[in-house]
Amino acid sequence: MLLHGWGMNSAVWADIATILAQNFRVTLIDLPGHGLSPWDHNKFTNIQSWAEGCLQIAPPHAIWIGWSLGGTISLKAALLKPRYIKKLVLVTATPSFLSNATWPFGLATNTLERFLHNLNTNWAETLGNFLTLQVSGSKMARPVLRTLRQRLAKSPSPNLQALNIGLQILQHTNLAQQISDLKIPNLWLYGERDTLVPKQGAITLAHLLPTAQIHIIQDAAHAPFISHPEQALQLLQQFIAKR
């Protein structure tokens, strides 16, 4: 079961989903107000409601693979309903996107506040800037950015309210103090050049969650499954096969 990141849609998984579908049943979910998923402003107000919405339609005992915001939602779902999820894969995801006392490796608060402010002024430009930030530092920035833009265009534009709530989830969610409660097998994939989710967080993660399997993909930024698909897929398949 695969969950995409903020502002994107399930088409971002096209290549990896096609390969996984050769041996597994693959479920792709668009987050609320993204892609083809409807938006209900009365229902999807916080991270718990987003996680519960995904749990309601996800197959039981699946392996969840979440990228960025989708990883945060997946982590919350695993903490809410651990017996429902078999394994968890977090791709450039983090317990807290903002830097704070319990999680020192994150974005500065004013960076995310600026995105929230700009979102309501020009949402398309803000989303484009966010895509650019995701590939920042990568040697393959241009082709990865082109792929992200192409995948984004495959579905209707995301709902503006959904984009706002998604950024607020990233702004206010801090699961660092709950991370030790995660009991199911879990794999974390970092990008060496990721500027959104710095690789230095792996050190803190290993301390808070000794059972975590952590890998840093060299030269990758925030979307390693697109820039380095063979390496990401190999790590994923090894984790899936492990009993």
Catalytic center residues? 68, 194, 222
Q: Give the Cα separation of 70 and 61 in Å (integer).
A: 18
The partner residues of 191 in beta bridges, in order of sequence, read: 217
Q: What is the mean pLDDT of residues 212-228?
A: 95
The token pair at 154 is 């495959």
Q: What is the mean pLDDT of residues 156-164?
A: 95
Question: What's the predicted TM-score (pTM) here?
Answer: 0.95
Say whether pLDDT at 140 is over 90. no
Domain definitions of the chain by residue range: 2-241
Say whether pLDDT at 120 is over 90. no
pLDDT in the model for residue 88:
98
Q: Give the Cα separation of 166 and 146 in Å (integer).
A: 23
Q: What is the mean pLDDT of residues 218-229?
A: 94
pLDDT in the model for residue 122:
92
For 7-66, write each residue's pLDDT tens digit.
Answer: 999 999 999 999 999 999 999 999 999 999 999 999 999 999 999 999 999 999 999 999
The token pair at 4 is 């995409």
Residue with tokens 């994923």: 236
Of the listed ranges 16-30, 86-100, 101-115, 174-188, the least confidently predicted one is 101-115
Q: What is the mean pLDDT of residues 108-135?
A: 89
Model confidence at 138, pLDDT cuts 50, 70, 90, reads confident
Q: Which fold has domain 2-241?
A: Rossmann fold (3.40.50)
